[in-house]
Amino acid sequence: MNNVRVIVAGPRGKMGSEALRMIEKEEGLELAACIDRKHNGEQVKDLKGLPAFDAFIYEDIEECFQAVEADILVDLTTPAFGYKHTKTALEYGIRPVVGTTGFTTAQLEELTDLAEEKELGVVIAPNFALGAVLMMQFSKWAAKYFPDVEIIERHHDNKLDAPSGTAVKTAQLIQEARESKQQGHPQEKETIEGARGADIDGMKIHSVRLPGLVAHQEVVFGSSGQNLTIKHDSFHRESFMSGVKLAIDHVQKLDVLVYGLENLLD
């Protein structure tokens, strides 16, 4: 069987470099090229700290797609570029696997329509770590019995988007399981704006950004006389890679956009 040819956008990033190491280890995957903001025309092997791939680096995504034969784009960049890259990949018939977070609902809807129109699979997963996917599923289940819930997510201080994609997805899953609910005291007032965190359908999300952290989330459910906390920690970005591989395997058989890795699990 032919190797699956993958283009990685964001190869020098924390996730992108981990994805290159995963591709290096996995039989059946081949790095076709990379898309980066810098190093146009250089090879991946020329860059310090990255695996010794001969694949070329392109700054212009369209130039890359015109020059290189590829099956899949793995995007691990920033919200603005991730969206543009995903859209461009679909226009060139390349299936995107997207870990980049921070897309708006309108952008997700637009990409869903484009995937349908092109009959091409897309996987967008706010979290590729299996433990985090289970945390979200367990939280959805718990919300049926414990509708009062707050989410505390903690990340490294280089993260651009807040709240995290995982926290938003968790809140959306909980929303599916419980009635809409305004939590806390009805006359509650913030004396300092933001004190109660972000709000999705009455659920509060608190975002912590500190050096030393990787990716962590607690979903805290409250009920009279008891609390239930569902917690997940990613201590290393390797934790996301089996999910990226799973998405690469599945996206080739899909002809629609799938949002969330849970949709690919048995």
Ligand X SMILES: NC(=O)C1=CN([C@@H]2O[C@H](COP(=O)(O)OP(=O)(O)OC[C@H]3O[C@@H](n4cnc5c(N)ncnc54)[C@H](O)[C@@H]3O)[C@@H](O)[C@H]2O)C=CC1
Report the residue number, 58 or 240, with the smaller CB distance to ligand LZUJQKHR. 240
Report what 155 binds from ligand X, ligand LZUJQKHR, none; CB cut-off 5-8 Å by kind: ligand LZUJQKHR
Place of tokens 């919300």: 143
Least distance in angstroms from the C-beta of 13 to ligand X: 2
- Catalytic annotation on 155? yes
- For the CA atoms of 114, 118, 121, 125, the dihedral, rounded to the nearest 10 degrees, stands at -10
Amino acid letter for position 39: H
Q: Is 185 considered catalytic here? A: no
Question: Which residue in 183, 90, 193, 172 sits closest to 126, CA to CA?
Answer: 172
Shortest distance, position 72 Cβ to ligand X, whole Å: 15
Nearer to ligand X, 146 or 259 (CB): 259
14 in a known ligand binding site: yes
165 is in an annotated binding site: yes
Residue 178 Cα to chain centre, angstroms = 24
Does 165 help bind ligand LZUJQKHR (rule: CB under 6 A)?
yes
15 a known binding residue? yes
Count CB-CB contacts under 10 A for residue 69.
9
135-164 residues in contact with ligand LZUJQKHR (CB under 6 A) are 155, 159, 164
Q: How far is the CB of 215 from ligand LZUJQKHR (least distance, A)?
A: 3
Q: Within a 10 A sphere around the Cβ of 176, how many other Cβ atoms? A: 9
Known binder of ligand: residue 156? yes
Work out what residue 144 binds among ligand X, ligand LZUJQKHR, none; the CB cut-off runs from 5 to 8 Å by kind.
none
Where b means 16+ CB within 10 Å and e means fewer, 221-248 reads beeeeeeeebebbbeebebbbebbbbbb
